[in-house]
Amino acid sequence: MTTIYGDVNGIRKSIINRLEELYEFTIPFGQVITNELAQKLIDLTDDLNRELVVYITRKGQVTCVAVGDVYTVILPEVDGRRSVNRLSGIRCIHTHPSGETELSGVDIASLKEMRFDLMAALGRKDEMIQASFGIITNIENDQFNTQMIGPLSIDEFIELDITYLTAQIERQLDLNTKTSAIAEPERALLVGVERQGKWRITDSLKELAQLAETAGAEVLGMTWQKRDRPDSALFIGRGKVQEISLLRQEKNVNLIIFDDELSPAQQRNLEKALGIKVLDRTALILDIFAQRARSHEGKLQVELAQLRYNLPRLGGQGLVLSRLGGGIGTRGPGETKLEVDRRRIRERVSDITKQIEYIKKQRNLHRKRRETTRIPTIALVGYTNAGKSTLLNLLTASEVLAEDKLFATLDPTTRNITLTNGQQALITDTVGFIQKLPHQLIAAFRATLEEVVQADILLHVVDVSHPQYQEQSHAVFQVLHELNVDIKQLITIFNKADKVEDSNSVSALLKTENSVMISALHGHGIEGLLLLIENAIKQKTIEMHLLIPYDESNVIAKLYDISNVHSTEYREDGIYVSISLSPDQTNYFNRYAIGVEQE
């Protein structure tokens, strides 16, 4: 009597024997399937032109082999655990003769009804075996929610840690069963590696703690290790991983945050070793940006950065698992949820890139209009929480959001400023910089940072009360260098002077070229800042006094187009005009000049 389930009529004995040999396979602990078993299933599917199904237990044993027709296969009942917050303990892997691996409605219904640990479909396309799979993510109103992933290469599918994945799913089901009203608070442990550099590890971890608290986590502790270079597999040493595992249990933390960017493999290995969610500094910053984005452009830029960050992590369980429990590292900036499918992610990246390019073109049009009016442009740059928005409000009598939080400003804000000499200018508040700023963010926010690139003058705001203000300044200049704007005319503004008690340090700071000490909160030192801005603008222009003959009055219209016209006086011998314009525009008007003054 055969042990093969389903429709076996007409199948040769030799094929039946090959099917029965599938029971002899044993899958290594934690591995979803082996290459050899996947190849056997696909080869048999090609020979039969029918769907095949295998059930695999958590011990890696094949307990059922079934055959169906080309359209479907009747799945045998599962003899597994049926508690509402437990999966069956069985993963169902079946084949699609068509080569397509997308799960059907019947597949998804079976996943929910049988509570499989995982429902996967295999297919061969262009001589390559691919896989797609579905998992139960949580339960709401007695209904299971599911998530589909794929198609993946067979190697990527094999990388999936099925043991850790099912443990996380059941943990989430248990949480959903106990309460659906309040999500479990995120209690974080911070981890860093101390290497040679300007930043002390304690200061860097304190900043990471600020970031974590901004994102909504409670920081319960921090630890670090001295290493010349990170471990390729775990970032830190194995002994430190064991120490962190004990700390995790002692402090009852449910989130580990690393102070540097982890590779996808390091993140997967750490999650497997520690048994809880692991994030890096980049994912944390991206999450804060996702919460802070308000404008359509800002949301697009954050989503683009998240997609580029998550794409290389799609091969393992990191992204899938992070979606199960929600919380830091899982939030999206807009209505569109991240699709964990490589093809769809690439399509979305392409779509967002086109939208951002369109926005960039619109910005360029607005910028060209501003250029025709010859209004100087100023950009505020600086470390996050240095006081840029507070200064913008003071200079322009605006009410831009200014909070004592990291990344309080995400979307750029441009306002008009009138200097003491009557000169008009446009000043833009930009997103704050930070050490180890993710490259994905710099790339994604390049359209926004165009305001910095195109500005005539940069105002570098420094929080002089911060103990690491010099290191923060260095981090800002690194980003400016990456944007190729570190050679622009720059005014250094030492802000929060009211918090500095050491008069000697104040005197030393004021020796910095083209700098001023202020308190944006209390308005101290603003007169000196305005004077520096006026001088900086004058250095970029030449003032001329012209006498235009009446028969050449059309020149006046041109002057209004390309220069700032300060005054016009109609006299008997012609039109007297006082203007300021850029040096490259002066040659044409020299013949009308009655006085030229360069300041």
Least confident of 10-14, 265-269, 484-488: 484-488
For each of the domains in the chain, give its residue range(s) and CATH number, in order of start: 4-180 (no CATH), 186-292 (3.40.50.11060), 375-538 (3.40.50.300), 541-592 (3.30.70.240)
Please write the tens of the pLDDT for every residue from 511-544. 778 888 898 888 888 988 999 988 888 777 778 8
pLDDT above 70 coverage of the chain, percent: 81
The closest of 454, 474, 446 to 462, measured between CA atoms, is 474
Least confident of 118-127, 216-225, 423-432: 423-432
Task: Give the chain's mean pLDDT.
Answer: 81
Rounded CA separation 108/146 (Å): 8
Return the pLDDT at 329: 65
Return the pLDDT at 252: 80
Least confident of 2-6, 20-24, 223-227, 235-239: 2-6
Please write the tens of the pLDDT for every residue from 117-142. 999 999 998 889 999 999 998 887 66
pLDDT above 90 coverage of the chain, percent: 21
Q: Is the pLDDT of residue 335 over 50?
A: no
- How distant is the alpha carbon of residue 438 from its chain centre? 8
3-class secondary structure per residue, 185-218: CCEEEEEEEECCCCCCHHHHHHHHHHHHHHHCCE
Q: Are 310 and 345 in contact (CB under 8 A)?
A: yes
Rounded CA separation 292/214 (Å): 10
Rounded CA separation 590/548 (Å): 11
Least confident of 182-186, 214-218, 331-335, 463-467: 331-335
Return the pLDDT at 317: 43
Please write the tens of the pLDDT for every residue from 556-596. 888 877 777 888 889 888 999 888 777 767 777 888 888 64
Average pLDDT of the segment spanning 332-361: 69
Task: Tell me how many degrees the CA angle 294-342-258 measures, rounded to the nearest 5.
Answer: 60
pLDDT band at 339 (very low <50, low <70, confident <90, very high): very low
| Main-chain phi, psi angles of 233, to 5 degrees | -95, -40
Q: Which residue has the tokens 């050449």?
A: 552
Tokens of 451: 């305001």
Q: Is the pLDDT of residue 319 over 60?
A: no
Average pLDDT of the segment spanning 96-109: 88
Q: Are 469 and 550 in contact (CB under 8 A)?
A: no
pTM equals 0.59
pLDDT band at 598 (very low <50, low <70, confident <90, very high): very low
Return the pLDDT at 180: 45
- How distant is the alpha carbon of residue 298 from its chain centre? 11
Q: Give the residue with greater pLDDT, 74 vs 423.
A: 423
| Main-chain phi, psi angles of 272, to 5 degrees | -65, -40
Return the pLDDT at 505: 63
pLDDT band at 314 (very low <50, low <70, confident <90, very high): low
| Main-chain phi, psi angles of 350, to 5 degrees | -65, -45
Q: Is the pLDDT of residue 331 over 80?
A: no
- How distant is the alpha carbon of residue 95 from its chain centre? 36
Return the pLDDT at 514: 83
Tokens of 455: 């500005």
pLDDT band at 29 (very low <50, low <70, confident <90, very high): confident
pLDDT band at 340 (very low <50, low <70, confident <90, very high): very low
Give the CA-trace dihedral at 78, 84, 85, 91, to 10 degrees. Answer: 20
Q: Is the pLDDT of residue 450 over 80?
A: no
Greatest mean pLDDT among 453-457, 474-478, 546-550: 546-550
Question: Which stretches does DSSP call E strand in 391-541?
Answer: 413-418, 424-429, 457-463, 489-495, 515-517
Position 241: which residue type?
A: V
Return the pLDDT at 23: 93
